[in-house]
Structure 1
Amino acid sequence: MVDRINDITWQAHQGSVAAIIQVLNETLTKSGVRIRAVFADGVLQLLCEAAKVEELEQSRLVEEIQQILESIAPRNIRRVKINSRIVREQQLLWLTEIDGERDNQLLWSQEITLAQPNVVQQLIKDFQASQAEGQLNLPKLSPITNSDKQNKSPTVRWQLALGLGLLLTLGWVVYTQFGEQLKNLVQLENTNSFATANTNRTKTEADKSHDSFAAAVRIANKASVAGKTATSSTQWLELAAMWQRASDLMNAVPPTHSRYQEAKIRSQLYKKYSETAQKEAAKSEL
């Protein structure tokens, strides 16, 4: 069985933003380009940074990124906005900052739409993946005797194979066309049933997950402002504590939250900012 937990390409295909970032960075590292990404409002926002302007040549970079993403074919991601700028110190809320001052922040920006993967090719990939994971459960057949083998003509075998292929193709087409609607309908039905029996508990858990994400953002915003004026060791230590608290809150966001993937990325970033602030505090004591 294939170990899908460590298969970054497979995770990126499933739509994991963290895995997409890793694949892009591993591919573009020789070009001197570093990628950061956030999925917001149905658009995968990419920030491309490099030390030199020539490393961010628009037509070449856009074409390369589009080829990489279309080879991955991330699920539920079609619109991608590519932003570029000269590398600078990491900013926590970079998407908010470039949206506020796009002309001053960016060299260029371009939105692209990823091509839909070929249905037959995608069917083959998913079929192979199912076999690799041992998830393809075919019905058990009774032993075939020699006389049975003689009675099985090539025409019958081809008809069976063709019928199975058509059935799989039809299932895939139905899934691509109506899969999201059916999934949303099932999720809505499950949510309604669950809410009927556990209304108070569901509301409490939803409030907690929302509060955890929102509280982390509020603390991070305060820390971002405080970091611009911090000079003393005490101020840097307070800043480190704020970043660590924001990281812990993001880490507490449950997988059911709509921005769970973003919360994972932010949790790691906040932790790095906390470590940086601690280093600055140590420098200030010298």
Structure 2
Amino acid sequence: MVNKINDIAWQARQGSVAAIIQVLNEKLANSGVRTRAVFDGGVLQLLCEASTVDKLEQSTLVKQIQQILESIAPRNIRRVNINSRIVREQQLLWLEEITRDPENQLLWSEEIILEIPNYFQELIKKFRDQKSESAKLILPKFQSSRPKAITNHKLKNSAWGRLSLALSLCLFLLLLGWLVYAVVNGKLKNIAVSGISNSQASTTESFIQSASTQTEDAFTQAVRIANQASADGKTAKTSTQWLEIAADWQRASDLMSQVSPSHSRYQEAQIRTKLYREYSETAQEEAEKIKKS
């Protein structure tokens, strides 16, 4: 079965910072611009570097980046802060550097808001992804020794299968349209209120309480992911493997940042948040080195 983790475009749509950087660098390669990024405080901090100032013309570069990111439509990323400067030696703590002294570190900086695709656009994109994945699973053609009658029978079954899929999709879209209409006219709310029993209300309350305690486990989850990323780093050899490791470190950092101040290990979580983010950047650099070699 095709492993989706190897599909950089799919990773980027899921919000992987490492994959987003790779897509941006590929799209901007001809313009001589290289990018690095960190997801910090709900904002994707993007650093653009080039050898000369003319390659970092603000209006042109901002428009290019916004078009690329909106075509990706990364999950849970809407605010993007674009920073630019002349290329310099690698700095693991570049975000801290430009935050501390932006006037001397940057040529310019601009924040953009990505347009949120509507639900139907997301549905179409998901359907295309599923179709693309199915195409990858098709086996190579070979000469069949079976009678033509059997082959024709298979072709008919295949055509019927495609027709069934199309009918299912149409029914789904009709149901979705009815739900939207019901919400707009206040019908869905009435149906939901009249249909909920006391036992269902109790179940809903339990689910809310369970969800509120999930942040208590963020520290443990982050440590588990970080341990796996550390182990994988000892055997990683390809650019894709390093990108996976970078994504794991970033997830671990994001989880650590969600630890509640009331948690007994809150201070440690704050330190690990920054440390894991630095490890993610290091893994991204390793992926770039292998790709260039």
User: 1:123 aligned to 2:123?
Assistant: yes
Equivalent position to 1:189, from 207, 210, 227: 210
Query: How far is the alpha carbon of 1:29 from its aligned partner?
Result: 1.2
Partner of 1:266: 281
Query: Matched residue of 1:48: which SS?
Result: strand
Query: How far is the alpha carbon of 1:172 from its aligned partner?
Result: 9.4
Partner of 1:166: 174
Query: How far is the alpha carbon of 1:190 from its aligned partner?
Result: 5.4
Query: Matched residue of 1:24: which SS?
Result: helix
**Aligned partners of 1:173, 1:18: CA distance in 2, in Å?**
40
Q: Contact between 1:123 and 1:169, CA under 8 Å: does it hold in 2?
A: no
Gap change, CA 1:191 and 1:209, over 3 Å in 2: farther
User: 1:205 aligned to 2:226?
Assistant: no
**Aligned partners of 2:53, 2:114: CA distance in 1, in Å?**
26
Query: Matched residue of 1:15: which SS?
Result: coil
Query: How far is the alpha carbon of 1:6 from its aligned partner?
Result: 1.5
**Aligned partners of 2:207, 2:115: CA distance in 1, in Å?**
28
**Aligned partners of 2:24, 2:177: CA distance in 1, in Å?**
31
Partner of 1:146: none
Query: How far is the alpha carbon of 1:128 from its aligned partner?
Result: 3.4
Query: How far is the alpha carbon of 1:252 from its aligned partner?
Result: 12
Query: How far is the alpha carbon of 1:166 from its aligned partner?
Result: 2.9
**Aligned partners of 1:110, 1:84: CA distance in 2, in Å?**
9
Query: How far is the alpha carbon of 1:4 from its aligned partner?
Result: 1.5
Q: Contact between 2:31 and 2:55, CA under 8 Å: does it hold in 1?
A: yes
1:191-231 CA-partner distances (Å, limit 9, x unpaired): 74897xxxxxx59837967999xxxxxxxxxxxxxxxxxxx
Percent of matched pairs sharing the same residue: 51
Query: Matched residue of 1:123: which SS?
Result: helix
Aligned-residue Cα RMSD (Å) equals: 4.3
Give structure 1 stretches of 5+ with no counterpart.
Answer: 135-157, 175-184, 196-201, 213-246, 273-286
Q: Contact between 2:222 and 2:253, CA under 8 Å: does it hold in 1?
A: no
**Aligned partners of 1:205, 1:162: CA distance in 2, in Å?**
44
**Aligned partners of 1:21, 1:13: CA distance in 2, in Å?**
12
**Aligned partners of 2:97, 2:223: CA distance in 1, in Å?**
28
Number of matched residues? 197
| TM-score with structure 1 setting the length | 0.56
Aligned AA for 2:280?
Answer: I
Q: Contact between 1:253 and 1:263, CA under 8 Å: does it hold in 2?
A: no
Query: Matched residue of 2:111: which SS?
Result: strand
| TM-score with structure 2 setting the length | 0.55
